[in-house]
Structure 1
């Protein structure tokens, strides 16, 4: 499959890379867009990193977009332990470092749990939160699969070998090859004479109780439900019933759990539409 022009254009709109210290740990993040625009913070899922948004963020022209590496992920530092509250404070700190006044926070999978924690624990720091296929379960799917492996991260002799072994957690049928290649290469770090994945294998902390978080939301919220993802129509209805202010459900047709890999343009369209109607929105 050839690389489409929209993807090449998105990657050509390269982000600025910055770092902020949060409670003694460096947190790396990427920035797109002009200062003064409404803010949007993107939060990746477990074992992922901010580069998963490289082909999505540049297309959200109405906002100044920030995507961070949660501690234990990507190019951020590691901590002795991790929890949703700490990651939520990292989101707030990155937004403050970029002078984003009450941004929208959008998270995928485990990152959706972080976004919801921000909305509940720091209601004055955000204008709205949205989650992408973040299931109403006790643990994120990424953690379950990694726990099942029960072995330290493998080291690969070359970048090419590691890229070939790259898989999403959980796996899905469709991965656009040009997206997969870009994200996989950004997921690696040097380890001795070889290469290994950037995330800390000890990153899993206690999961949040969404049945307690969702009823405590006071800001606007929304759910992106992937048709082939982990949130069933029944689960989406249950989640919506827990939110006092309502929970609009944006359906992503034929999308797997990781829409950035199989239906990125549908995801961009959904996000643009949502932002246009939310506080501080506007045109695309």
Structure 2
């Protein structure tokens, strides 16, 4: 575990996971190309991973190969990563993208797990497409407030800065909200995957216009038509009180999986704890 500027050797688990190259595919959803990655045998139960706002599917590159009990798919929501951009965005559209990617991979009733804003997408899928998913889980997705990535980006000009080279851009990469403790090799991997070449250098892949929509999360929870669970990060945004309030809104209850010492972005600082929690949840939920 490190703070900015510290260097660590690459652990074997990480190098093996990153060496497990996913299949890269695209599917058209409502006129826009949606890119996704897929790992694991096609005969296994399905799991769809949904990144947070301003992130991309590569945030799961070191996590997905360790969830090898399932066929794992991680998509780039439209406006993010290597997917196309739309004129406007909303959670229902993104939920349709989740289901379209699952269908393209032949995943029957997958589990959908989303981080931060992606958790809201997962919840929307559980409400709008409850019969088509086996369960939904959210990772530190706050109740009744904008995800931190939206709050921060709304305060910035909606024009990406252009950096002269990849190294400069990677050095400028910051999580939203800022997270001072992380694994530096994971941070560098996701930072490099966040960039695209443009005239004059490199800039971020995401469309700043993705910030225009947020769902009424409090209204989503009582309408969930699929089993649900919450991963609560000890150093994250969802407090114990908020988790209890969220659980009270879900008709069938909301199991809470604690991730000790994890910040808002557990795939950056506590990925193995996250993997253990997800594997445990998948083992107890029916396929």
Shorter-chain TM-score: which interval? over 0.9
Paired position in structure 2 for 1:36: 43
Where structure 2 has 5 or more consecutive residues not aligned to the other structure, the ranges are 1-7
Could you say if the C-alpha distance between residues 238 and 106 of structure 1 is closer, same or farther in structure 2, counting changes exceeding 3 Å?
Answer: same
Q: Secondary structure at the match of 1:78?
A: coil
- 1:267 alignment counterpart: 274
The yes-or-no answer on 1:201 pairing with 2:208 is yes
- Find the counterpart in structure 1 of residue 9 from structure 2: 2
2:110 aligned partner? 103
Aligned match of 2:66 in 42, 59, 64?
59
1:64-106 superposed Cα distances (whole Å, 9 cap, x missing partner): 0000000000000000000000000000000000000000000
User: Which residue of structure 2 aligns with residue 192 of structure 1?
Assistant: 199
Task: Name which of structure 1's ranges 166-175 and 47-56 shifts more when overlaid on structure 2.
Answer: 166-175
1:138 deviates by: 3.1
In the other structure, the counterpart of 1:77 is 84
TM-superposition CA deviations, 1:37-84 (whole Å, max 9, x none) = 000000000000000000000000100000000000000000000000
Using the TM superposition, give the Cα deviation of residue 205 of structure 1 relative to its aligned residue in structure 2, in angstroms.
Answer: 2.6
| 1-structure distance, mates of 2:134, 2:215 | 21
Question: Which residue number corresponds to residue 138 of structure 2?
Answer: 131
Q: In the TM superposition, what is the alpha-carbon distance from 1:204 to its structure 2 partner?
A: 1.4
Query: The residue matched to 2:196 in structure 1 has which SS?
Result: strand
Matched, 1:225 2:241: no
- Secondary structure of 1:131 counterpart: strand
The C-alpha deviation readout for 1:187-210, integer Å capped at 9, x for no partner, is: 000110200000001111321111
Query: What are the equivalent positions in structure 2 for 1:211-250 lying under 5 Å apart?
Result: 211-250=218-257
The equivalent residue for 1:170 is: 177
Deviation at 1:150, TM superposition (A): 2.5
Q: What is the DSSP-based 3-state SS (H/G/I as helix, E as strand, rest coil) of the residue aligned with 2:261?
A: strand
Contact preservation (8 Å) 2:144, 2:218: no
- Partner secondary structure for residue 10 of structure 1: helix
The answer for unaligned runs of 5 or more in structure 1 is none
TM-score, length basis structure 1? 0.98
Q: Is the 8 A contact 2:158 2:208 kept in 1?
A: no
Paired with 1:128 and 1:42, the residues of 2 have a C-alpha distance of 12
Contact kept? 1:119, 1:128, Cα under 8 Å: yes
Secondary structure in 2 matching 1:28: strand
Moved over 6 A (4+): none
Instruction: State the Cα distance separating 1:151 from its structure 2 match.
Output: 4.8
Tell me the residue number matched to 2:100: 93
**Residue 68 (str. 1) matches residue 75 (str. 2):** yes
Tell me how far apart the structure 1 counterparts of residues 217 and 24 of structure 2 sit (CA, whole Å).
32
The alignment covers a number of residue pairs equal to 280
1:139 Cα deviation after fit? 1.5
Match of 1:202, SS state, is helix
The residue correspondences of 1:3-18 to structure 2 (distance < 5 A) are 3-18=10-25
Deviations, residues 193-244 of structure 1 (Å, cap 9, x unaligned): 2000000011113211111100011211000000000000000000000000
The SS at the match of 1:267 is helix
